[in-house]
Amino acid sequence: MKKIIIILLIFLNFISNSNALIKVDITRGNLDPLPIAVSPLHVDNTSVNLENLDVKKLGVNISSIIEKNFKSTGLFNPLKKEAFVQKPDIAHLKPRFEDWRLIKAQALVTGKLSVKDNKLKVEFRLWDLTASKEMIALSFTTTPSNWRRVAHIISDKIYERLTGETGYFDTRIIYVAESGPKNQRVKKLAIMDQDGAKTKYLTLGNELVLTPRFNPSNQMVTYLSYFRNLPRVYLLDIETGKQEVVGNFPGMTFAPRFSPDGKKIIMSFAKDGNSDIFTMDLETRVVERITEHSSIDTSPSYSPDGKYICFNSDRSGLQQIYVMKSDGTNVKRITFGKGIYGTPVWSPRGDLIAFTKVRKGRFYIGVMRSDGTGERLLTENFYQEAPSWSPNGRVLVFYRETKSGPQGKGFSAKLWSIDITGYNERKIKTETDASDPSWSSLLSK
Amino acid sequence: MNFNKNLRNIFLILFAIFALSACSAKKSQTTGDVYTGNETVEYLASGVKDRVFFATNKSSLTSASRETLRKQATYLRKNKKLNVTIEGHADERGTREYNLALGERRANAARDYLMTYGISGKRISVISYGKERPVNSESTPLAWSQNRRSVTVKVK
């Protein structure tokens, strides 16, 4: 492993030599995060205050969202504002590079905004303080209520410029909000921004709901609902709130996911004690059987090109991960390590599969190459599972449950994220207990 | 004096027997890791247990489970108008989706057995709750063994 890192480093150094500008290496755990100064955005004096929005504070609020985003990556170290040496409007015109370098900043974000005619106009610049150069300058115009998204989009642009990878801040997470005692848990579908803001509940909690997943355009969600005590896969339109059962199966359907083109739902159908994998085309309603085996075949996930499917099956005795062509042929087992393997999820980059592993009573989240080689376990705990990828394939979100005492006391379920480097494990703040997270793709592409 | 000593000896022996039996009762709550106790069990009718228990990741019926199910079958034959739902459950030590499938498999193992004893499949529906409805909310091996179960419930 160490060898690989060293080779990567040399390789990256070679690349960055051709480019004098600062660059953040995200292929390894970053123990030396880049010091970055995010100046509050200057608010234009002619801006008009709005009823539900304190426009004067918008500059500070946007910059603090950007800072929070950067901090959460573990790759950047946003510097304290008290040390800032120039006023926002002046720095935005042309920073005194040597002054900013004095506070040990290597990159600087400046910007200004105005609110006029119910339009929010934001512009920002990213400066390389080492090379004394402007790296990007961009401006956006949108409705003022979209100000949080503007902050996330700016974060994405800066992340992209500094790391060479697409960002993942302008995204949302759908999950199951949990409350109540462990043996009578109330579960609701909830959706929030990636940073935990703007939580919205999509179901009332009257029936058990599990395992929501976004479609590629982030407008639809497929999930399992126990509506009328019939566990079935459902489809929900987030905007309209319209829900429908997927297919007409004479038994439980579960473990749904969209195909990468969003046209099909792949899921398990359980009948007479046997679970197999099926797809349903959402337009033609044609149902296709993908696996036919007397074992439990479930947790299917497509490769991003749609050509392959990974899933877990206990056909060998215990749960292991398999890969097959998307028509169900060429089934190959890819995990042979000691322990049980489940919940395989193909990375949006196509190179890795994330999974849950259970060994000697401990639960691990890990990644491996799609042929099963190169297994790396990222985190170990009493109970955790169900990884879901950030759209750039750099971060996983999953849920973790605590051990409970008598009467289920001390039980909790929370969302966590971790970089695929194994570094930067963090709890994601949610209003309630939470499980079964699914990360959207970028909202603005 | 002698009498007292004898009495004390008898008490000691009685105490030892009690302690031993209490100890063995506790131990015999699981065989392998299948729960064999009665703590969580309810009854469909006098002497007819409503549930059977399973080993980790397994859905095979133990001889005790088969006995319970045979009694259920006898009860269902006597009460011809009664329909039942068999709920399949798993413990919290597996992934959610796999546990849903496992619960379904366990419920069907019980259903199949009832059917071999002459109960029509039409009278028995199954539902899996996976790990969503534990009967014992603790995180202990005993709780997990009580939660790996299928429960036969009368349909009202």
Closest CA to A363 of A344, A379, A347: A379
Closest by Cβ to B98, choosing from A185, A231, A296: A296
CA distances to A191, A211, A223, A236 from A202, in Å: 7, 14, 12, 9
- The Cα–Cα gap between B100 and B127 comes to 9
pLDDT tens-digit map of A120-152: 999 999 999 999 999 999 999 999 999 999 999
Per-residue pLDDT, A46? 87
Interface of A with B in 290-319 (CB under 8 A): 296, 298-299, 312, 314, 318-319
Contacts of A366 in chain B (CB under 8 A): none
Q: Is B99 on the interface with A (CB under 8 A)?
A: no
Mean pLDDT score of chain A: 93
Geometric angle at alpha carbon A270, from A265 and A271, rounded to 5° = 135
Question: Average pLDDT for residues A33-39, to the nearest whole number?
Answer: 96
Q: Is B109 on the interface with A (CB under 8 A)?
A: yes
Interface of B with A in 74-93 (CB under 8 A): 92-93
Q: What's A65's DSSP letter?
A: H
The architecture of the domain spanning B32-154 is 2-Layer Sandwich (3.30)
| Number of CB pairs, chain A paired with chain B, less than 8 A apart | 107
- The Cα–Cα gap between B48 and A226 comes to 29
Q: How close, in Å, is residue A294 to chain B by CA atoms?
A: 11
Question: Average pLDDT for residues A241-249, to the nearest whole number?
Answer: 94
Contact A278, A268 (CB under 8 A): yes
pLDDT tens-digit map of A349-404: 999 999 999 999 999 999 999 999 999 999 999 999 999 999 999 999 999 999 99
pLDDT tens-digit map of B74-105: 999 999 999 999 999 999 999 999 999 999 99
Interface of A with B in 196-225 (CB under 8 A): 208, 210-211, 224
- The Cα–Cα gap between A203 and A190 comes to 8
CA distances to A248, A365, A383, A398 from A386, in Å: 27, 8, 11, 5
Bridge-based pairing of strands A34-38 and A76-78 is: parallel
Per-residue pLDDT, B4? 62
| SS3 state of residue A92 | helix
Q: Which two tokens stand for residue A215?
A: 């479609």
pTM for the whole thing? 0.90
Contacts of B102 in chain A (CB under 8 A): 296
SS3 for chain B, per residue?
CHHHHHHHHHHHHHHHHHHHHHHHHHHCCEECCEECCCCCCCEEECCEECEEECCCCCCCCCHHHHHHHHHHHHHHHHCCCCCEEEEEECCCCCCHHHHHHHHHHHHHHHHHHHHHCCCCHHHEEEEEEECCCCCCCCCCHHHHHHHCEEEEEECC
Closest CA to A296 of B97, B88, B111, B126: B97
Per-residue pLDDT, A19? 43
Closest CA to B70 of B14, B113, B131, B11: B113
Per-residue pLDDT, B7? 60
Q: Is B55 on the interface with A (CB under 8 A)?
A: no
Closest CA to B124 of B113, B139, B140: B113
> What percentage of chain A carries pLDDT values higher than 90?
89
Contact A360, A338 (CB under 8 A): no
Question: A383 to chain B: nearest residue by CA?
Answer: B93
Q: Which structural domains are found in chain A, ordered by start?
A: 23-163 (3.40.50.10070), 172-439 (2.120.10.30)
Task: Give Cα A94 distance to the centre of its chain.
Answer: 35
Question: A318 to chain B: nearest residue by CA?
Answer: B57
Per-residue pLDDT, A53? 87
Question: Average pLDDT for residues A226-234, to the nearest whole number?
Answer: 97
Query: B139 vs A385: CB contact, 8 Å cut-off?
Result: no
Residues in chain A: 445
Query: B137 vs A312: CB contact, 8 Å cut-off?
Result: no
Question: Average pLDDT for residues A157-167, to the nearest whole number?
Answer: 95
| SS3 state of residue A229 | helix
Across A30-44, A50-64, B33-47, which has the greatest mean pLDDT?
B33-47
Closest CA to B86 of A272, A299, A267: A272
Per-residue pLDDT, A85? 87
| SS3 state of residue A193 | strand
Q: How close, in Å, is residue B148 to chain A by CA atoms?
A: 14
Q: Which two tokens stand for residue A427?
A: 């709890």
Contacts of B128 (CB under 8 A, 6+ apart): A231, A252, A270, B87, B88, B89, B100, B101, B102, B103, B104, B106, B107
| SS3 state of residue A4 | helix
Q: Which two tokens stand for residue A47?
A: 């801006």
Dihedrals φ, ψ of A431, to 5°? -65, -35
DSSP H or E segment with residue A36: strand A34-38
Residues facing A49 on adjacent strands: none
Contacts of B78 (CB under 8 A, 6+ apart): none
Per the listing, tokens 């195909």 go with A259
* ipTM for the whole complex: 0.91
Question: Average pLDDT for residues A179-183, to the nearest whole number?
Answer: 96
Per-residue pLDDT, A51? 80
Better pLDDT: A53 or A70: A70
Question: Average pLDDT for residues A254-280, to the nearest whole number?
Answer: 98
Low-confidence ranges of chain B (pLDDT < 70): 1-28
- The Cα–Cα gap between A356 and A338 comes to 13
CA distances to B29, B42, B127 from B71, in Å: 21, 14, 21
- The Cα–Cα gap between A314 and B97 comes to 13
